[in-house]
């Protein structure tokens, strides 16, 4: 027996090695790796993390993502004169059909939903007012306009003056109307990148563009993705966390007034304007975070709830399915008060 063992020793080692390699390869099917990459788009940056099998390739994924984002930019960037949205804005023909792409149509459809749900608190035609206050891409400096200037512009504002046809057409009812979808297009970009990754066969990933997020599946360790909400205070570092939420197959967006504003005689004037009266919001809401099924909807709704204020905002969100929010209000003594929708706390990490 002993001799037999020695006789077959080399063969046994071969078999053992072969079996070891086999089981390693078999186990490798369930092993996972985390791949991260980043880039620039829409005047900001993006960061993406995907969880894949050890032997899966993500070689061309970033290139395909960049191409997809470039297509969206070509459609809805107001900084490009040849974009669809720029050509629509330059079009002075009322009542004439303006053909648009699927991307433009999809964003406009969600935008109309947000506009209708919030009574016009979100409005994609508010750009002339932003320019007047010095927050837009005009050369105007940030200053308080004359009331007469605001009054003169208000008739030119109104998302309801644009007809959206099911045949993928837009029709202006007022020649001077101009669109800017910056407050919802980033969320759409997030959703489209998420769809691209999903169709590539990857189920677990995190997509972030300029702070707007979609989290799919789970992290490498099998836990939910953790998203930090920035402390809504002037001068706070971008990595200073106020609250942490757990996300799984959800979109997430935050709107705040603490980065872009100016002060006159001790009064703060935010870049977030109320389209209904033409003035910056003055309701002490400093941050609104939305969890929803899509980042497109969350992105637009976060801005609208900021305009509505915490009372009406909570009422609106609590009436919606699959949508939650955290509204942070700054009191007169500088402290923060948190207002939660009915189900938002179920997303909060245990450390909160």
DSSP codes joined into one string, 239-265: T-EEEEEEESSEEEEEEESSSSEEEET
Domain boundary among 132, 152, 172: 172
pLDDT of residue 30: 52
Nearest CA to 300 among 167, 195, 190, 177?
190
342 with 279, same domain: the answer is yes
In this structure, the number of other CB atoms found within 10 A of the CB of residue 21 comes to 10
SS3 327: strand
Q: Could you tell me if residue 8 is inside a domain?
A: no
Q: Measured between alpha carbons, how far is 179 from 110 in angstroms, rounded to an integer?
A: 14
Q: Are residues 232 and 159 in the same domain?
A: no
Tell me if 54 is assigned to some domain. Answer: no
User: Do 89 and 163 share a structural domain?
Assistant: yes
| 200 and 308 belong to one structural domain | yes
In a domain, 34, yes or no: no
Residues 95, 155 share a domain: yes
Residues 168 and 206 in one domain: no
Alpha-carbon span 118 to 114, nearest angstrom? 6
* Structural domain harbouring 164: 76-172
One domain, residues 144 and 217: no
- At 78-131, the pLDDT tens digits run 999 999 999 999 999 999 999 999 999 999 999 999 999 999 999 999 999 999
Domain closes at, from 152, 172, 192: 172
Are residue 209 and residue 327 in the same domain, yes or no? yes
In a domain? residue 110: yes
> Does any domain span residue 61?
no
Does any domain span residue 98? Answer: yes
Task: Specify if 32 maps to a domain.
Answer: no
275 and 305 share a domain? yes
Residues 279 and 343 in one domain: yes
CATH label of the domain that carries residue 96: 1.10.3980.10
**Of 154, 172, 190, at which residue does a domain stop?**
172
Radius of gyration in angstroms for the set of CA atoms belonging to the chain, rounded to a whole number: 25
Q: How many domains does the chain have?
A: 2
Cα–Cα dist 154/277, whole Å: 7
Judged by average pLDDT, the poorest of 138-142, 206-210, 297-301, 302-306 is 138-142
Residue 38, CA distances (Å) to 48, 49, 214 in order: 6, 9, 15
Report the pLDDT value the prediction gives residue 20, as an integer from 0 to 100.
37
Average pLDDT of span 231-238:
83
Stretch 327-331: mean pLDDT: 95
- pLDDT of 269 reads 85
What is the reported pLDDT for 19? 36
**Same domain, yes or no, for 186 and 168?**
no
């Amino acid at each position: 027996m002993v001799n037999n063992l020695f006789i077959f020793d080399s063969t046994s080692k071969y078999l053992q090695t072969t079996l070891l390699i086999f089981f390693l390869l078999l186990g490798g099917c369930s092993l996972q790796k985390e791949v991260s990459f980043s880039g620039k788009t829409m005047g900001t940056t993006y960061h993406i993390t995907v969880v894949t099998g050890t032997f899966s390739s993500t070689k061309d994924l970033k290139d395909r993502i960049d191409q997809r984002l470039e297509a969206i930019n070509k459609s809805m960037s107001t900084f490009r004169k040849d974009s669809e949205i720029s050509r629509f804005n330059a079009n002075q023909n009322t009542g004439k059909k303006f053909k648009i792409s699927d991307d433009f149509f999809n964003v406009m459809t969600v935008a109309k939903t947000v506009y209708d749900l919030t009574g016009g608190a979100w409005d994609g035609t508010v750009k002339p007012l932003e320019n007047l206050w010095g927050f837009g891409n005009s050369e105007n400096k940030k200053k308080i306009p004359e009331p007469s200037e605001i009054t003169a512009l208000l008739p030119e504002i109104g998302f309801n003056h644009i007809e959206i046809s099911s045949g993928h057409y837009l029709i202006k009812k007022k020649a001077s109307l101009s669109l800017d979808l910056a407050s919802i297009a980033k969320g759409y970009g997030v959703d489209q990148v998420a769809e691209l990754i999903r169709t590539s066969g990857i189920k677990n990933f995190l997509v972030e563009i300029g702070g707007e997020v979609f989290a799919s599946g789970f992290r490498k360790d099998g836990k939910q993705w953790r998203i930090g909400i920035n402390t809504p205070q002037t001068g706070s570092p971008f990595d200073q966390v106020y609250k942490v939420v757990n996300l799984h197959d959800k979109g997430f967006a935050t709107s705040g007034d603490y980065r872009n504003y100016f002060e006159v005689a001790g009064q703060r004037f935010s870049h977030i304007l109320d389209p209904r009266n033409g003035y910056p919001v003055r309701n002490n809401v400093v941050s609104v975070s939305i969890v929803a099924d899509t980042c497109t909807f969350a992105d637009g709704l976060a801005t609208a709830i900021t305009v509505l204020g915490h009372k009406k905002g909570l009422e609106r969100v609590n009436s919606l399915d699959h949508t939650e929010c955290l509204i942070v209000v700054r009191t007169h003594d500088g402290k923060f008060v948190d207002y939660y929708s009915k189900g938002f706390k179920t997303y909060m990490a245990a450390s909160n």
